[in-house]
A and B are shown apart, each in its own frame.
Chain A
Amino acid sequence: MITLTHYMVLSGILFSIGMLGVIRRKNLLMLFFSTEIMLNAVNLGFVAVSKYIGDLSGQMFAFFIIAVAASEVAVGLGLLVLWYKRKQTIDLDSLQSMKG
């Protein structure tokens, strides 16, 4: 029998994988991928709670998270392309311009 705890633990595992990616990655495109993983993990948690409590609010929240993620990708990739045109690299360290 699969309970809510199963889904919450899976959501937590996926979220930590995404967070490990955010800590580990230095390439900005890979950082975007990792944030997508984290958003997906949270969505899974919301929908699981929504099912087990019998409430649709969780699904609505997940729906709006998907909308926000889609617009985030559009704007973020635009900025990334602009940065690549300027610096010829998408390494995270290239964003560091202040010496110290």
Chain B
Amino acid sequence: MFEAIAFYLFAIVTVAMFLIVVFSKNALYAMSALAGGMIFIAAFFFMLDADFMGVVQIIVYGGAVMALYAFGMMFFDTTRDVKENIKDKRIIYTLGTLSFILIVVIMSAPFISDHIKALYPSLPGVGNPQMVGYVLFTKYLVPFEVAAVMLLVAMIAGIILVSKKMDQSITTMPEVDKKIEAEEFDIKDAK
């Protein structure tokens, strides 16, 4: 009973949050709604007895990824509304509705295979974080190490990409100002 109430409550709130992300014109509102939606997804993970995944979701998505987006948005002008040049709305919404129906129908199909069996079943009396530790550091050790190297590569790539021309201000770039001035002069000359 409580599970059903929690499920429907969090389902409605999560869908509402993600709809705000997709339809909001303001980038800041979209980011805040995305952060909220991530936290509500973590609530589902706790309901599904995946405590470790829930905590990782809150720390990585609610914390790290959102902080990264917040830092990234300092580079862009976020106070203005996002202007988007959408050419044909009818095609977009038709395709969106069709794919929505298709995906939901596929997902709601029942599992009829009898051959699905647990490869790494949970042991009785062992908590979820401990069990995740056992499986992660035995069967999935190599992917885990590869993921660590991948995160290191991503970190270095992020630093290298953003730190280029860090000493220059993007909003007041002298060469861009000169270019704009030259173009204005050209227009005046043409007149």
Contact = CB atoms under 8 A, between A and B. Distances in A.
Interface of A: 1-2, 4-21, 23-27, 29-30, 32-34, 36-37, 40, 43-45, 47-48, 50-51, 53-57, 59-60, 62-64, 66-75, 77-82, 84-85, 88, 90-91, 93
A contact patch SS: helix
B165 interface: yes
A9 B155 CA distance: 35
B182 interface: no
Contacts, number: 220
A32 B154 CA distance: 16
A25 B89 CA distance: 11
A6 to B, nearest CB: 6
A54 B123 CA distance: 10
A8 B98 CA distance: 18
A16 to B, nearest CB: 4
A15 to B, nearest CB: 6
Contacts of A33: 21, 30-31, 34, 69
A62 B17 CA distance: 21
B158 interface: yes
29 contacts: A1-B3, A7-B44, A7-B48, A9-B104, A15-B103, A16-B96, A20-B99, A26-B86, A27-B84, A32-B69, A33-B30, A43-B53, A44-B44, A44-B45, A47-B45, A48-B48, A55-B121, A56-B131, A62-B53, A66-B56, A66-B61, A67-B150, A70-B60, A78-B159, A78-B160, A78-B162, A81-B72, A90-B76, A91-B84
